[in-house]
Amino acid sequence: MTAEELTLLLDKYKQNYITSDEKNRLFDAINSGEHDELLHADILQSLRGEVPSAGWEDEDHSAILNAIFQADEPETLTVVSNKRRFFLYAAAAVITGIILTTSLLHKKDPVKAPTLAKKQVLAPGSNKAMLTLADGTQIPLDSAANGALAQQGNTRISNANGQLSYQANGSSAVMYNTVTTPHGGQYQLTLADGSRVWLNAASSIRFPTAFTGKERQVSITGEAYFEIAQQPNHPFFVQVNAADKDLTVKVLGTSFNIMAYADEKAVKTALVDGAVQVEHGNQKSILKPGLEASLTDNNFAIAQADLEQTLAWKDGKFRFRSTNIKTIMRQLSRWYDMDVAYNGDVSDIDLTGVISRREDAGKLLKALEATQRVHFEVNGHNVTVSPATLH
């Protein structure tokens, strides 16, 4: 099996649409040991280098993984050596969606079972949103609402498998629609010009049903990823609204991510390819691919972007690199629709890891607790976070 084929099968497993035959081929390839280097480099990124010891014995490590993944752990994986066991357990964990490490792991006491107040399920988000037409009519959207939804002027609106699309047939009066995702929701849409938009949880986009002028303009709140259809004579503008940190992004044909939640300290625009100009008041900055503009306190800061971390949400993951627990919990609260409170000082709790957005919050919180840095108490949709040293 080639490296490309293995990567494709791993992606299918993570997305949960792998066939039985493909699944058998995947684990045959893992068991063969021929792709350990690829697995280590491409999948086990959170375990690169020396992993700090948590004081686990081999039996503890195995028991913890079994407890977290339960029946999801592939039964076909076999242990043939200590080295192989590391790769196979780690690969199984990453494929299933939870690997977590911490760069600040000092406690050496044996791992205790994570304690949650009640055994409750906080289900992950899904494809759901609300479409508001120009006349105020609201249409709930989800993966099941397939087919033609409405006609706005000469534009036909249809929905298929969690993706909304607009098809303009001739010129018509400009009408504006809005798609809004709730906490625990995400959605995709294709605008009338062919541009594609991915909306993260607790976000919205307002856009015309057809682009008729010299400029194409939309406005967003929250977080969105764009792939803009190239029309050099019709520049594309994104108006970003986030409390007092409004800005405008001007593009011609490009792919980029905008994170503009009101509860975040900065509005961030990360460029994948092409070119964009970010504007705030009299300030203007040009971004090149791989750079990110952060607007904080009315000032732009341009730096190298961590595109893997920035785009992880679009790929169905949470990815953290020395990320403070409060930042992590803001992301989790939007996706799992949970209310978060804090007990004690958590300012020094920074974690690194990759976690699937398809896991129930209970499994995810257990993985976080396994770092022995943080503790959670869950009561319904209310989650209290405290340092593990308080318990």
Asked whether 302 and 291 are in contact (CB, 8 A), the reply is: yes
* pLDDT mean across residues, the chain: 79
Domain final residue, candidates 259, 293, 310:
310
296 with 381, same domain: the answer is: no
Determine the residue type at 131. L
pLDDT of 84 over the 60 cut: no
Largest Cα–Cα separation, the chain = 69
Q: How far is CA 268 from CA 217, 293, 297, in A?
A: 19, 6, 13
Looking at the fold, whether 48 and 166 belong to one and the same domain comes out as no
Is residue 305 domain-shared with residue 324, that is, in the same domain?
Answer: no
- Beta-carbon contacts of residue 33 (< 8 Å; ≥ 6 apart): 80, 84, 87
**CATH number of the domain that 354 lies in?**
3.55.50.30
User: Is 167 in contact with 156 (CB distance < 8 Å)?
Assistant: yes
Q: Which residue has the higher pLDDT, 118 or 73?
A: 118
Question: Is residue 37 classed exposed, middle or buried when 0-12, 13-18 and 19+ CB atoms within 10 A define those classes?
Answer: exposed
Q: Which of 384, 336, 340 shows the shortest CA–CA distance to 118?
A: 384
- pTM score, whole prediction: 0.71
In a domain, 229, yes or no: yes
Residues of the chain with pLDDT > 70, as a percent, come to: 73
The answer on 200 and 91 residing in a single domain is no
Pick from 69-78, 119-128, 192-201: least confident: 69-78
- CA 220 – CA 226 distance, rounded (Å): 11
CB contact at 8 A, 356 and 97: yes
In-domain check, residue 225: yes
| Dist CA 14 CA 319 (whole Å) | 14
pLDDT at 53 over 70: no
Same domain, 305 and 360: no
Q: Of the ranges 15-24, 291-300, 301-310, 343-352, which one carries the lowest mean pLDDT score?
A: 15-24
**Residue 317, pLDDT score:** 93
Counts for the chain of helices (H) and strands (E), in that order: 8, 24
Pair 244, 159 in one domain: yes
Do both 196 and 289 map to the same domain?
yes
Predicted confidence at residue 88, as pLDDT, reads 46
Tell me: pLDDT of 342 over 70: yes
Tens digit of pLDDT for each residue in 146-180?
A: 788 888 888 889 998 789 999 888 766 789 999 99
Both 291 and 187 in a single domain? yes
Mean pLDDT, residues 97-114 taken together: 42
The rounded radius of gyration (Å) of the Cα atoms in the chain is 23
User: 92 and 180 share a domain?
Assistant: no
Same domain for 212 and 66: no
pLDDT value of residue 111: 43
- Is 131 in contact with 149 (CB distance < 8 Å)? yes
Contact call for residues 245 and 267 (beta carbons, < 8 A): yes
Establish if 107 belongs to a structural domain: no
Instruction: Look at 70 and 118; give whichever has higher pLDDT.
Output: 118
Q: Which whole number is the average pLDDT over 90-105?
A: 42
- Write out the residue range of the structural domain in which residue 195 sits: 126-310
Task: Provide the number of structural domains found in the chain.
Answer: 3
- The encoded tokens of residue 253 equal 């044909």
- Range from 217-226, 289-298, 352-361 that averages highest in pLDDT: 217-226
Asked whether residue 377 is domain-assigned, the answer is yes
Residues 58 and 142 in one domain: no
Residue 292 sits in a domain of what CATH number? 2.60.120.1440
pLDDT in tens, 232-286: 889 999 999 887 778 999 997 799 999 999 999 999 999 999 999 999 888 899 9
Q: What is the mean pLDDT of residues 343-350?
A: 94
**Is 321's pLDDT higher than 70?**
yes
Which among 86, 81, 27, 37 is positioned nearest to 61, based on CA atoms? 86
204-208/176-180 β-pairing: antiparallel
Same domain, 196 and 302: yes
Domain boundary among 249, 275, 310: 310
* Ranges 60-69, 243-252, 307-316: which has the least confidence: 60-69
Helix (H, G, I), strand (E, B) or coil at 20: helix
pLDDT at 96: 42
Give the model confidence (pLDDT) of 109-125 as tens digits.
444 444 444 445 688 99
38: tokens are 């690829």
